Chains A and B, each alone.
Chain A
Amino acid sequence: MQNENLVQISFFNQLMLVHPRKKQNERSEASVQVSEYFVNAEGTGDKVNLSDLLGTVEKTSGASNKTKKQLRNLQSSKETLELPLNKQQTEKIQRGIAYEKTTAEVSCWKNIILQNQKAEQMVFPLNQESSGPKRVEQVVAGWKVQTPLEQEIFRLLHGSRQPVNDPVLTPVEEQSLKAMSLEEAKIRRAELQKARALQSYYEAKAKREKKIKSKKYHKVQNKAKRKDFLKQFDEMVKTNPEGALEELKKMELSRMEERMSLKHQNSGKWAKSKAIMAKYDDSARKAMQEQLQMNKDLTQKMVVPSDDEHESIEEGLETVPDFVNDPETVIDPVNPWMRGQLTHEEPEVSCVTAEEVQTAEEENEEEEIIGEFERKRKLRQADEEDLIPTEEEHVVEVSDKEEEEDEEEDVSEFNTLFRLMRSEKTREGSNQTRGGLNTAGEEDEEGLLSEGQIRVRSIEDLEVLDEVVEPRAIEEPSAPQTAAAEATSEPPHKKKREINLKEVLTKEAKAVRLPFLPTVVDEEERDEQISIIKEAFAGDDVISDFIKDKSRQEAAGRPAVVDLTLPGWGEWGGVGLKPPRWKRKRFRIKTAPPPPRQDQKLPDVIISEKRTASVASHQVSQLPFPFQNTAQFESSIRTPIGSTWNTQTVVKNMTKPKVVTKLGAIIEPMVKEDFIKSKTTSAGGKGAAIMLGENRRAKEGTKRSKKREKMTTARSNS
């Protein structure tokens, strides 16, 4: 049964494949002359030239004009065809293309490689599952068939199309459901054929009609269409109100479009020409009017019949409809005199429109004025928030009233008024600040005023200003103090480099109070002791020794002057003769002084300037790659990594190896699918369904079948 079904499907598909539907592009009449004996043996042995064939093309009616023309051009053209490119050039082009292709192909690796380079740690093999408990589905899904036995079993399992997990229908069942009987297929095919034929007929017809150039025909047809549509619409209102609403919306849209465009406004080229002719030509006039009528029709608002009937009636009652003012419809359209007003109407209309425009402009102006008022009012309000209630506000209010009274007043006038007001206000404000300052008893008024930025308007403001001002007043007395302090702290003239060592050492030391002294030390005894000590160390002056030592060290540190003078060279030589000054000056080489000693400012300290080379062998002497200066590198290694200085986790983190490989695992090279797939899965996050082994193949299979289905459906539709 299954096999039968399968056979049927394939048969159906083949049918579809054998008779692909050609699209009928043009309408052609079958020729009568075609006979089965058309090909004769005349001229056998002769070579058929292209020109011969072309000649016949001219005569055949089946060939399109376009091709004929092309052929004719080809014949008449004298140019020879271009030579094909030489080998080198073609190869170059090919190489270029190949290069581009390969770069595109290779560059997709770039990201992942960069990422891996940057990664602090790489764990191989790459696509490892995270350790820890997993869901059963994951475990099952990840399992792959490896041994031949397993493979065979799975082939059997999948071959039988038995469900692995239990869906509602087995794939076989689904297929059987999908499949149709032969008769059904045939009927369906016939239906489709018929539909296609009908469609093609309809298309052909439409095309033919489209080609008809008669305007009248189209007009009539359009009218008919519109009528039809209206009828349909009326029906639709009853049957399908939602659809009608949609249609209504469309109409509204078209109305809007019409209102926007200048179409049907008698403003086009055609209309203008007609307007010239309108005086004399009746039909032209009519045409123009028709166009206007069209415009009117199109711009007419759709009346929603059901909902707002009353309102519309009321509106109709209240506002006199337009046509009341219109002249009565002229009986004889040809007689211009009878039309009377119509001819007058035009200027009238124009004048009315001008008025309207004016009014509209006025309205706009008013709106603008109002907007401006509001803007300015807001501004003023913002100002007034700071203000204490003064006369100004009254003034403002009065002016407001005035404004309300004569809104039609000229804007410029108002503006000038407003400006005046503003200036007044500011002046008053400044006056007030002055007054406020005076009351506060501020001494330097001018300075404040010159600042200008702070404008005092209220008591609070004044207080704030007070605060701002006061620090200066306080600072002023403090300034001399600080100056005095500076004077005291700063020595009158800079101390010499040699600070008196004796002073340093005989600095006052605080005596310590003892709870119980070992032996009562009297003052006399103490003095005695001191004198004894002095006696004992009379010979060795500790301090001067130290100073000497230090100066010796400093002298040793200073670079020696290299004397290259050769006495007697270019002058008299001999015992007791000194080389001349210029020579000494020129040939004594002074090296640059060394950097200042570390102990320069420490009189009682000698710090050795010798560089210890012992650490150098352990130090880094070359900057590692990414670092540009030593400070960067030093800061990067400033954090110790040992467990002595860090917590256990930090040590582990800091000393983790760059590459970790799993013992015994085969590390395979990275596959393109790996990182691309990982991206997609991470994006989609699907794949919940369980698939046992060989899933890739299965997936591919499903894809293929889906593709086939798509193809068939497309064909059936066309």
Chain B
Amino acid sequence: MLVFGFWTTKICNTRNCFNKIVLIALFSLTFHCNGFASIVCPDLKKILTKFDSPSRWFMLGKKCKVPAGARERLKEAIAISEAMSEHAQKQAARYDLLLPEDAGFLEGDEDEDTNTISQADIADAVDITSGSKYFNLHLSQFGPYRLDYSRTGRNLLVGGKKGHVACIDWQTKDLKCEMNVMETVNDVKWLHTEAMFAVAQKRWLYIYDSKGVELHCVKKFNDVLRMQFLPYHFLLATASATGFLQYLDVSIGKEVAAICTKMGRLDVMAQNPHNAVIHLGHPNGTVSLWSPNQKESLVKMLCHRGAVRSLVGKDKIGDTALYMVTSGLDRKLKVYDIRAFKPLHSCFLPAGASCLSLSQRGLLSAATGEIVQVYQNVLGSNPVSKPYMAHRLRGQIWGLAYCPFEDVLGIGHGEGFTSMIVPGAGEPNFDALDTNPYRSHKQRQEWEVKALLEKVQPELIGLDPGQLSKVDQASFEQRHKEQVEALGFDPLAKDKFKPKTKKKGRSSAGAIEKRKRKVAHEDQRDEIRQSVQERTEREKELKEKSNEKKLGNKSTLDRFRK
């Protein structure tokens, strides 16, 4: 059995080491041999992406009720589908047991803020391998640096503003390639695998392989400032200084869409991993949402009074909310519920955040000048008051990124690169079929083929990712109308209740009317009945509660009390 990367360190009562610090840096403990990973993890794909409230996660939409006068076939179809979905949910819930890993955390002593604990202390406290995840790369020549971690979290790509590009296996500190493109580098981004990365240089967009060989120079994409890669669509979205948002399909090398946003220079960009919508921040304080299928923005929202400096999107599946965090020139940090387009809370950062990043488990890191602050529980409804962790660096911060499946935050700044330990940042359980940090060369190849086969078409990008599972209402209605015209009647209409003719004077007009009235407004009646029942139940509960309260502190003399 091979033991890789994660392990646990529990240091309690280490007073001799630190002053009254109880530090528990609980990194995930996993023994992975390849076989185990591939046996357990295939079934966990869905479960893995969720982090909280497992019971709710497995619920897949609403159950459909069988209508009263349904045909036999319909009843069967509904019953079968319901049974199947229930089975699927149950199975998924059962397999949830196979996710044994817990996230790490950092706990301070009484009267001690965790944000005063320095990285050096943490690195000392944890084991050597974990400690080695805190390191600095002093690259003062070509800074400041942008950075990007590959999806598996193994490889790091750094790109200095002055042309220095390097990719490193950061855990083994194995330098894959290093070069100077002799041009301004605006952004760097890994493509779907570790074998390719895109570099947005002064004029064009370049694509290199992991050896540093230039593969493409995409001249259609000029003056690119920011890039985002949509992994399931194989789309590289670029935002340029000329105000163009362009999509490049890296699987076929075609430009999918080029949208002129007419919003000026686009240097703030993020993606919503939930629906692959691109968010752009603009100097007039608005954030606009884009899909490649629409020439105008899907949504435009006014977030800040000043220009938007940074934003980051986050999906939190299993909860109803999807989040977006923005920071602006007005030095505010705002958290939005992106489904309702409503701000959840905002806080004032004295220096304003220039860079933002969200970890897999929802830790927010914000770069305020030279300091990186990490906030916990940002995505709740209650506002944050103080940072969870903080780390001071030398030089302006340009890039921030959490490493997937690791409790590590990468910081690109003017003086080079810093890897910072943030306990509890990474998701401890990974899906080996999707993103396996330990995958072999062969496994990577297999994954690539499968991922390409399962590629999601860019047409499906929209605000509602579940659009595909819905009936195209407009064309459905159109078709239905045509059908009604052709047939002369509505085939889907519910036929009117026709009372049976009965004998022995029971089919008199009055009796028929009575029978008709019995079934009239059946749907409404059902609804009313349901609501009434709910209300009565609620009242009952309240009553019981109050009764319990009474009984709890009741004495015999109570009855004489007025």
Contacts and interface: CB of A to CB of B under 8 A. Distances in A.
B300 interface: yes
A545 B298 CA distance: 18
B459 A441 contact: no
B474 A516 contact: no
Nearest to B292: A614
A462 B559 contact: yes
Contacts of A614: 293, 459-460, 462
Nearest to B471: A630
Interface string A538-572: 00101101100100000000000000000000000
Chain B CB within 10 Å — which of A501, A514, A644, A647 has the most? A647
Contact of A639 (B85, B296, B305, B467): B85
Nearest to B543: A471
B443 to A, nearest CB: 16
Interface residues of B, number: 100
B298 to A, nearest CB: 5
Nearest to A545: B284
Interface stretch (B25-33, B70-78, B177-185, B223-231): B70-78
B253 interface: no
Interface stretch (A153-161, A400-408, A598-606): A598-606
Give the dominant DSSP class at B's interface: mixed
Contacts of A511: 347-348, 350
Interface in A571-606: 599, 602, 604-606
A163 to B, nearest CB: 52
Interface stretch (B39-47, B214-222, B508-516): B39-47
B546 interface: yes
Interface stretch (B13-21, B355-363, B364-372, B412-420): B364-372
Given A606-B301, A608-B298, A638 B476 contact: no
Interface string A111-133: 00000001010000000000000
Contact of A629 (B301, B459, B474, B492): B492
B390 to A, nearest CB: 5
B385 interface: yes
Contacts of B543: 471
A507 interface: yes
Contacts of B383: 510
Nearest to A521: B350
Interface of B: 42-43, 45-46, 60-64, 67, 70-71, 73-74, 76-78, 80-81, 84-85, 87-88, 91-92, 94-95, 113, 115-116, 284-286, 291, 293-294, 296-306, 329-330, 332-333, 341-343, 345-351, 368-371, 373, 383-387, 390, 392, 433-434, 454, 457, 459-460, 462, 467-476, 479, 492, 543, 546-547, 550, 558-560, 562
A510 B335 CA distance: 12
A615 B558 CA distance: 69
A519 B392 CA distance: 12
Given A512-B384, A632-B78, A605 B300 contact: yes
Contact of A636 (B46, B81, B346, B473): B81
14 contacts: A510-B385, A511-B350, A515-B116, A515-B390, A517-B350, A518-B369, A518-B370, A543-B305, A616-B474, A627-B74, A630-B470, A639-B81, A639-B84, A644-B46
A615 B88 contact: no
B46 to A, nearest CB: 4
A604 B293 CA distance: 24
Nearest to B330: A533
A602 B341 contact: yes
Contacts of A645: 45-46, 88, 92
Interface stretch (A136-144, A618-626, A658-666): A618-626
Q: Which 4 A-B pairs have the closest CB atoms?
A: A635-B64, A639-B85, A619-B472, A636-B81
A533 B306 contact: yes
A653 interface: yes
Given A639-B88, A654-B88, A518 B472 contact: no
Nearest to B329: A533
Nearest to A622: B479
Nearest to B474: A611
Interface of A: 118, 120, 440-441, 462-463, 466-467, 470-471, 474, 501, 505-507, 509-519, 521, 526, 533, 537, 540, 542-543, 545-546, 549, 599, 602, 604-608, 610-612, 614-623, 625-640, 642-650, 653-654
A638 B64 CA distance: 10
Given A517-B351, A639-B84, A608 B297 contact: yes
B113 A515 contact: yes
Nearest to A534: B305
Contacts of A509: 332, 346-348
Nearest to A475: B546
A604 B387 CA distance: 29
Nearest to B340: A602
Contacts of B306: 533, 537, 542
B60 A639 contact: yes
Contacts of A653: 84, 87
Contacts of A120: 80
Contacts of A549: 300
A138 to B, nearest CB: 32
B341 A599 contact: yes
A623 B476 contact: yes
B348 A510 contact: yes
Contact of A632 (B74, B333, B346): B74
Contacts of B346: 507, 509-510
A169 to B, nearest CB: 55
A630 B302 contact: no
Contacts of A626: 71, 73-74, 76-77
A307 B64 CA distance: 76
A621 B475 CA distance: 6
Nearest to B70: A628
Contacts of B350: 511-512, 514, 517, 521, 526
B261 to A, nearest CB: 13
A546 B285 CA distance: 10
Contacts of B434: 644
Contacts of A610: 294, 296
A636 B472 contact: no
A521 B345 CA distance: 24
A518 B392 CA distance: 8
Contacts of A629: 492
A643 B333 CA distance: 39
Contact of B468 (A516, A618, A621, A646): A618
Given A605-B341, A618-B459, A619-B471, A638 B61 contact: yes
A515 B347 contact: no
B88 A650 contact: yes
Contacts of B373: 514
A510 B62 CA distance: 38
B96 to A, nearest CB: 10
A196 B330 CA distance: 124
A654 B454 CA distance: 18
A632 B373 CA distance: 49
B302 A505 contact: yes
A540 B345 contact: no
Nearest to A505: B305
A650 B113 contact: no
B117 to A, nearest CB: 10
Residue of B341, B387, B479 ringed by the most chain A CB atoms within 10 A: B341
A120 B60 CA distance: 23
A643 B392 CA distance: 44
Nearest to A465: B559
Given A474-B546, A512-B348, A621-B479, A648 B43 contact: yes
Tell which of A540, A611, A612 has the most Cβ of chain B within 10 Å.
Answer: A612
A646 B92 contact: yes
A470 B348 contact: no
A638 B385 contact: no
A118 to B, nearest CB: 7
A602 B91 contact: no
B42 to A, nearest CB: 6
B296 A608 contact: yes
